């Protein structure tokens, strides 16, 4: 029978198990495959983001993304495409439940064992599916695997990995880039970007002109120069935060908004109230757009 027997989530840099399904099979093949999965998990940083270790009866599939990797033991007859659909589903569920900081701070095995409930639910969903698959989603995943095929290992070869890791031999490290997908850019978001670029340019131009005067004649005006350059940098970082996902976005957004507001208040006299209100309004609009543009909740479920 084609099934997913076991799944787990591990930390890529050291193979620390973060969570795993708690149902166990006690036949010898499965227990041996578990040992090889543990050895492979400690060497995931050496491999690309997708990989498969094939055995006669059981196979191990893994999918790495950023700090974590999802791994599964499946019957060898189980579809490789479906196995990676399953791992992709787990990855998105785990990313939605835990942030990068908590993952990096985990110091004991199975620190997120409560995630087992999600693993069991997704595993049951994939194992019990009998309906037809959505052709478009199936073809999309198949095309991705053709474009970036998983690295192929022999299950027997994973026995060597544990010795290599403990012996300190270094393998080729392949950097795994997180593939976060954010919601589409909205027209209001585009407007906030344009206004932010305009405000940043105004701050830079005013700051450069004031700097030329201050360095030559009025050395007490250095504070005002800084008050122009800080909002310029804040505008640049606000554009970056809107376009790209980073950890701690909320804190960074409020810090940037505070910098813009504080500096513009400091510039009262060099700017009138309407100009200050305009700059603070643009910064507030950009902050709102950053906070409301979130990650996509989940990937397509590949028709299962």
Give tens-digit pLDDT for 106-115: 888 888 988 9
DSSP notation for 112-131 = TGGGHHHHHHHHHHHHH--S
**E strands in 49-99:** 50-54, 58-65, 68-75
User: What is the mean pLDDT of the segment spanning 283-299?
Assistant: 79
Question: Hey, what are 19's tokens?
Answer: 């969570």
Model confidence at 238: pLDDT above 70: yes
DSSP state at residue 77: T
Rg (CA), the chain: 26
Model confidence at 137: pLDDT above 60: no
How far apart (Å, rounded) are the C-alpha atoms in residues 34 and 24? 10
How far apart (Å, rounded) are the C-alpha atoms in residues 122 and 299? 13
SS3 track for 138-205: HHHHHHHHHHCCCEEEEHHHHHHHHHHHHCCCCCCCCCCCCCCCECCCCHHHHHHHHHHHHHHHHHHH
User: What is the mean pLDDT of the segment spanning 5-30?
Assistant: 86
Give the DSSP H or E segment for 9.
Answer: strand 4-11
pLDDT in tens, 63-104: 998 889 999 999 988 888 888 888 888 988 999 999 888 898
Helices 249-266 and 222-243: angle between axes, nearest 10 degrees? 150
pLDDT in tens, 143-187: 778 878 888 887 666 655 554 444 444 343 333 344 456 778 889
Residues 172 and 252: beta-carbon distance below 8 Å: no
> In the chain, count of helices (H) and strands (E)?
10, 6
Of 20, 38, 282, 287, residue with least CA distance to 158 = 38
pTM of the model as a whole: 0.54
The HSE-up count of residue 213 (CA atoms within 13 Å, CB side) is 12
Give pLDDT, residue 174: 38
Residue of higher predicted confidence among 50 and 178: 50
How far apart (Å, rounded) are the C-alpha atoms in residues 272 and 193? 23
Give pLDDT, residue 210: 82
Burial track 46-56 (b if 16+ CB lie within 10 A, e otherwise): bbebbbbbebe
206-213 contacts, C-beta under 8 A, 24 or more apart: 206/270, 207/232, 210/270
Maximum Cα interatomic distance, the chain, rounded to a whole number of Å? 85
pLDDT in tens, 192-211: 999 999 999 999 998 888 88
How far apart (Å, rounded) are the C-alpha atoms in residues 300 and 133? 12
Give the DSSP H or E segment for 288.
Answer: helix 273-292
DSSP state at residue 133: P
Model confidence at 136: pLDDT above 50: no
How far apart (Å, rounded) are the C-alpha atoms in residues 70 and 53? 14
Place of tokens 């543009």: 293
């Amino acid at each position: 029978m084609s099934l997913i027997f076991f799944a787990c989530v591990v930390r890529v840099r050291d193979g620390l198990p973060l969570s795993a399904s708690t149902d166990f099979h006690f036949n010898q093949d499965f227990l041996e495959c578990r040992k090889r999965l543990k050895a492979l998990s400690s060497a995931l940083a050496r491999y690309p983001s997708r990989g498969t270790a094939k055995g006669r009866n059981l196979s191990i599939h893994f999918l790495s993304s950023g700090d974590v990797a999802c791994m599964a033991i499946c019957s060898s007859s189980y579809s490789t495409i479906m196995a990676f659909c399953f791992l992709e589903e787990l990855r998105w569920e785990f990313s939605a439940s835990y942030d990068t900081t908590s993952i990096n701070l985990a110091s004991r095995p199975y620190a997120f064992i409560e995630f087992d409930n999600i693993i069991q639910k997704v595993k049951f969903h994939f194992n019990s599916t009998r309906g037809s698959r959505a052709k478009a989603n199936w073809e999309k995943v198949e095309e991705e695997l053709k474009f970036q095929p998983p690295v192929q290992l022999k299950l027997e070869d994973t026995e060597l990995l544990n010795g290599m890791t403990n012996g300190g031999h270094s393998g080729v490290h392949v950097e795994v880039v997180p593939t976060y997908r954010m919601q589409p850019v909205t027209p209001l978001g585009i407007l906030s970007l344009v206004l932010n670029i305009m405000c940043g340019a105004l701050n830079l131009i005013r700051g450069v002109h004031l700097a030329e005067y201050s360095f030559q004649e009025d050395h007490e005006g250095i504070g005002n120069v800084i008050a122009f350059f800080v909002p310029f940098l804040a505008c640049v970082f606000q554009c970056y935060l809107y376009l790209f996902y980073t950890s701690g976005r909320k804190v960074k957004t409020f810090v940037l908004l505070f910098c813009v507001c504080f500096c513009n208040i400091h510039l009262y006299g060099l700017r009138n109230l309407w100009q200050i209100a305009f700059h603070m309004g643009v910064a507030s609009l950009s902050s709102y757009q950053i906070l409301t543009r979130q990650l996509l909740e989940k990937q397509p479920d590949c028709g299962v």
